[in-house]
Amino acid sequence: MVRRNEIRAGETAVQAPAATDAGLVFIGRIRTPWTDRLECPRQGRQDGPTCRIEVFEPWVAALDALGEYERLEVLYWLHESRRDLVRQSPRNDGVARGTFSLRTPVRPNPIGTQIVTLVRVEGANVFVRGLDCLDGTPLLDLKPDRSAFTPLAPRQPGDDQVGDTA
Amino acid sequence: MVRRNEIRAGETAVQAPAATDAGLVFIGRIRTPWTDRLECPRQGRQDGPTCRIEVFEPWVAALDALGEYERLEVLYWLHESRRDLVRQSPRNDGVARGTFSLRTPVRPNPIGTQIVTLVRVEGANVFVRGLDCLDGTPLLDLKPDRSAFTPLAPRQPGDDQVGDTA
């Protein structure tokens, strides 16, 4: 079962440094059917319910041309997650493994990333399928899925760099 | 050509709100061959140079079991990017489109995400191919690529929820 915020047997918490190296601005809010972490999907599915991503001003103009893409990458802030566990026990069975080997929301920087299917853009609202986050989750970013996007800028040297230099 | 920080013809800057809604902690540093944005690849390639991701304490213990995955998702902070453009001109030709329709580093929250191929984990260092960021880029997170990861936690209600409810 997904945790609320307890520490489980076998897990390791650390004294985390202050999270003041950079600051985020919440650029919108995500509306989903899930109001409790114990009901959320663990991973979104592309045939899941339509969710509404509401974009705040002054960022609405940045949605221009987003509708050209079938698949988007969504970044959001997992605002209810603790940030201090380095080893976690997903099955709550006393067996723990490193946080970076898991896609758990509990991480030093609780940023969720998901690939979603675009349904439509309507004013400041982006309707998508494939999300798995709580209703009210703060939005951090939207971008075309990398596999669907070809850079529009001209080529530059690093684009052709392969292998290792001596 | 990738920009340093100029505003180009046709682009729109906004008065961005203060970025104080949430705070990030830099959990490591990424070492790449690129020291200038004008040389970086626009998108990393899986046959690109090996790069070294150095993880800081107290997060090194969180690397446990990461080595089981061939492909990782890396999140990093694009520390040299401006954050106030809502319309951008990738070709610098006077034609602009919305920031969210681009994978440019210039975004309200300049978080880069990349899928990389794991070469090896060695102590606090993770060697990977596929990055496209500047040398010295701050690390935000590491997780298994979503397509390679199956949740370890037991199923829960949202996992099976498809389509839209009335």
CA distance A151 to chain B (A): 7
pLDDT on residue B87: 98
User: H/E element holding B116?
Assistant: strand B111-122
pLDDT on residue A157: 79
CA distance A141 to chain B (A): 7
Say how far apart CA B163 and CA B166 lie, in whole Å.
10
Q: What is the pLDDT of residues A26-64, one digit of tens each?
A: 999 999 999 988 888 888 889 999 999 999 999 999 999
CB-nearest partner of A98 from B43, B63, B102: B63
Q: What is the pLDDT of residues B37-51, one digit of tens each?
A: 888 888 888 999 999
CB pair distance less than 8 Å for B91 and A163? no
- Tell me what percent of the residues of chain A surpass a pLDDT of 70: 98
pLDDT on residue B84: 97
pLDDT on residue A158: 82
Chain B residue numbers with beta carbons less than 8 Å from the beta carbon of A125 are: none
pLDDT on residue A156: 82
Res A1 pLDDT > 60:
no
CA distance B5 to chain A (A): 15
Chain B residue numbers with beta carbons less than 8 Å from the beta carbon of A112 are: none
Res B2 pLDDT > 90:
no
Task: Tell me the average pLDDT across B81-91.
Answer: 96
pLDDT on residue B101: 97
Q: How many contacts (CB atoms, under 8 Å) link A and B?
A: 280
pLDDT on residue B165: 63
CB-nearest partner of A43 from B22, B87, B146: B146
**Residues paired with residue A146 on neighbouring β-strands, in sequence order:** none
* Angstrom distances, CA of residue A76 to CA of A112, B11, B22: 5, 26, 11
The answer to whether the beta carbons of residues A74 and A113 sit under 8 Å apart is yes
